[in-house]
A and B are shown apart, each in its own frame.
Chain A
Amino acid sequence: DAKTTQPPSMDCAEGRAANLPCNHSTISGNEYVYWYRQIHSQGPQYIIHGLKNNETNEMASLIITEDRKSSTLILPHATLRDTAVYYCTGGYNKLIFGAGTRLAVHP
């Protein structure tokens, strides 16, 4: 299972893009990268996942480097409701969470 490293905290102004990096240099070749977020006192919520190509859905975009050692989650227009802890993770048959990034979106 991939070990992930993320900055402990980030700030973002409302309406601006939030770019959250993740280092997963130990990820294996066919292991997907997943992003989840956890809003205070709630269960984690799935955001997006990818293998090699960049991915986009209604919540976010995921940019994965060509060597797959790192990725960036992009929230294109952050809102106050995006304030949460963001986790990137990989894993075949179990999700192992690292410390995550605490994103604070401010007015």
Chain B
Amino acid sequence: DTEVTQTPKHLVMGMTNKKSLKCEQHMGHRAMYWYKQKAKKPPELMFVYSYEKLSINESVPSRFSPECPNSSLLNLHLHALQPEDSALYLCASSPNTRQRNTEAFFGQGTRLTVV
């Protein structure tokens, strides 16, 4: 199984809502990533988890709160988002962050619309 599964595929939320994005992989990978992608732009790194610990936060606003409850699961909790946060949110995993010679696997993303 070389899949990274993201749910939901689409999400519409109001600015006062709280919602969560979920990402799951069963490849035994110990590095997991969140990216944000606006239309016609490249993916931008948000967070990196290594062995279930947050290792990189690319100065992301606190209204985005990541969580890695176990080695297979990565969540992104959303609260008080703005319309400009509407984007495709991508999750990825790789064996770990220490090996340089490994590829990353991406999920199909959650398309988020904030109204």
Interface-centre pick from A30, A44, A49, A97 (highest chain B CB count, 10 A): A44
Q: How many A-B residue pairs have CB under 8 A?
A: 56
Interchain CA distance A98-B42 in the complex, whole Å: 6
Number of B interface residues in the complex (CB < 8 A): 26
Shortest Cβ gap from A45 to chain B (Å): 7
Stretch of B13-21, B62-70, B72-80, B103-111 with 4 or more beta carbons under 8 angstroms from chain A: B103-111
6 A-B pairs in the complex with CB atoms less than 8 angstroms apart: A41-B109, A93-B31, A93-B56, A97-B43, A97-B44, A99-B42
Q: Secondary structure at chain B's binding surface: helix, strand, loop or mixed?
A: strand
For A45, give the chain B residue with the smallest CB separation. B106
- Using a CB–CB distance below 8 Å, which chain B residues touch chain A? 4, 31, 33, 42-45, 48, 50, 55-56, 88, 90, 92, 97-98, 100-101, 103-109, 111
Contact assessment for A95 and B92 in the assembled complex, using a CB-CB cutoff below 8 Å: yes
- Using a CB–CB distance below 8 Å, which chain A residues touch chain B? 30-32, 34, 38, 41-46, 49, 51, 85, 87, 92-100
Q: Secondary structure at chain A's binding surface: helix, strand, loop or mixed?
A: loop
Interchain CA distance A85-B37 in the complex, whole Å: 13
Contact assessment for B42 and A31 in the assembled complex, using a CB-CB cutoff below 8 Å: no
For A42, give the chain B residue with the smallest CB separation. B108
Point out the residues of chain A lying under 8 angstroms from B45, CB to CB.
94-96
Interchain CA distance A41-B10 in the complex, whole Å: 12
Given contacts A43-B90, A99-B42, 16 further A-B contacts (CB under 8 A): A31-B100, A41-B88, A41-B111, A43-B107, A43-B109, A45-B106, A46-B103, A85-B42, A92-B100, A93-B50, A93-B97, A94-B33, A95-B92, A95-B104, A97-B43, A97-B44
Interchain CA distance A92-B94 in the complex, whole Å: 12
Interface-centre pick from A34, A42, A87, A95 (highest chain B CB count, 10 A): A95
